Chains A and B, each alone.
Chain A
Amino acid sequence: MSLQATTSQTVGPFFSIGLHWLNQNDLAAAGVSGERVTIQGRIRDGDGNGVPDAYLEIWQANAHGKYAHPEDTQKKILEPGFSGYGRVPTDREGMFRFTTIKPGPVPGPGDEDQAPHLLVSVFMRGLLRRLTTRIYFPDDPRNAADYILSLVEPERRATLIARRTSQTGVLEWNVVLHGGDETVFFDLGL
């Protein structure tokens, strides 16, 4: 039997009333292992304006490179205090901020490890279906050999790599929806 996936529709401007109960901007409870990082940035539209009615969802592995999911059958440590899920709304200026740990590497195509990365879904009024992208970490030597990054034109890869800031442990990563320095989004279907 073959059905067709339900058509996506926008979250619209009022999603916070339905979705705020699962907001999560601090992904790593005390005691979870790994290097703590705060990632902050802004979502901008095609005019460069901040998007105040957007949210991000994060999905990531733990510091050992293990996903809290039954299909991850790697013999790596699961940490009960870490689910790998985040949901982060933007504020009036389109800014967002969340704290997590840097994930370990997970397997990619050909059983080569992927460079540490977070998966991100972007939802907002005006988007009829979500956008998906990734956040990689600055100065990680594994980025150079990452299979997914290698599929992206070299001059656009920087949009996927967070930048260091003057504050220790705080990285900056922005989402540009439309225009010259547009963020790279991935085609996974929905």
Chain B
Amino acid sequence: MKLAGYRPLYPGTQPEHLHPPYVSSLKRSPAKPQVRIPFTLSEVTGPSFRPEIVNPKACDLTKQHSGEPLGERIIVSGRVLDENARPVANTIVEIWQANAAGRYRHDVDQHNAPLDPNFTGCGHAITNERGEYRFVTIHPGQYPWRNHYNAWRPAHIHFSLFGPSFATRLVTQMYFPGDPLLPFDPIFNCTADEKARNRLISVFDWETTIPEQALGYRFDLILRGREATPMEE
């Protein structure tokens, strides 16, 4: 069986597992080198989901309760492409985030900021034929964490995508332009390549901004692309 593998990642554009400024990585990152393996049928295939499982209302995080959530309404939209600039259609995009006060609806989050009864902070969508997705949500708040003294996370939205195969799985975070906490955040700064980490910052976008309603932010996601020529396995 002839298989096209996936292109090697551009050096420095992905984090190392161990990033000492991010304290949680010390005890949870492997100490031994990972074993390089060739792509086989197992890695170039991957889970797919019936579009019917997607709740069409799950892309509007401001309409999940009887009332309106507090905070600044925003539109977060973009395209999912591969490294060859081809749209990734019919792939599930999952997001989760803090509310406007910087608090997650999660038992472990004990930050002394109010929960919002009208905001759960999670959603999902499926990309269309052009690889596009769109969410309506609330601008998440910044919040403190205990990584180091006076540590605060910049505002962010978590993204999780499958793409077409096991090899393309991506979990990342989207940030906001002009956030003064970005230079100090060890998670944002875990990647050596400055241009690569700056691509995690969404772009304010007039085109998707709705007058009298919500500001638009664009965030495109790039999944790994295939090698051009199938290798003889």
Interface residues, chain A, with chain B CB atoms under 8 Å away? 1-19, 21-22, 45-47, 51, 53, 57, 59, 61, 67-69, 71-74, 83-85, 106-111, 114, 117, 119, 121, 123-132, 147-148, 151-152, 156, 177-179, 182-190
Output the least CB separation between B80 and chain A (Å): 9
Instruction: Establish whether residues B109 and A67, one from each chain, have CB atoms under 8 Å apart when the complex forms.
Output: no
Q: Which of B40, B48, B158, B167 interacts with A107 by CB under 8 Å?
A: B40
Question: How many contacts A-B (CB < 8 Å)?
Answer: 257
B83 at the interface (CB under 8 A from A): yes
Q: Mark B1-42, 1 if CB is under 8 A from A, else 0.
A: 101001011100111110100101111111111111111111
Contact B17–A131 (Cβ < 8 Å): yes
The smallest beta-carbon distance between B184 and chain A, in angstroms, is: 16
B214 interface hit (Cβ, 8 Å): no
Q: What is the distance, in angstroms, from B31's C-beta to the closest C-beta of chain A?
A: 5
The answer to whether B25 touches A128, judged by C-beta atoms less than 8 angstroms apart, is yes
Cα-based distance from A59 to B8 in the complex (angstroms): 22
| Contact B30–A182 (Cβ < 8 Å) | yes
B84 touches A2 (CB 8 A): yes
| Interface status of B104 (Cβ within 8 A of chain A) | yes
Residues of A within 8 A of B109 (CB): 13-14
Q: Which residues of A contact B74 (CB under 8 A)?
A: none
Task: Give B4 Cβ to nearest chain A Cβ, in Å.
Answer: 9
Separation of A47 and B27 alpha carbons in the complex (Å):
7
Contacts of B105 in A (CB 8 A): 17
* 1/0 contact string of B96-138 vs chain A (CB within 8 Å): 1000000011101100000000001111100000000000000
Within 8 A of A (CB), among B32-87: 32-49, 81-85
Chain B contact surface mostly:
loop
Residue contact B120 to A6, C-beta cutoff 8 Å: no
Q: For A123, what are the chain B residues with a Cβ–Cβ distance below 8 Å?
A: 171
Q: Do residues A6 and B34 form an inter-chain contact, with CB atoms below 8 A?
A: no
CB pair B166–A59 under 8 Å, yes or no, is yes
Q: Which residue of B lies closest to A67 (CB)?
A: B45
User: Does B89 touch A at the CB level, under 8 Å?
Assistant: no
Contact partners of B6 in chain A: CB under 8 A: 188-189
User: Do A46 and B27 touch across chains, with their CB atoms under 8 A apart?
Assistant: yes
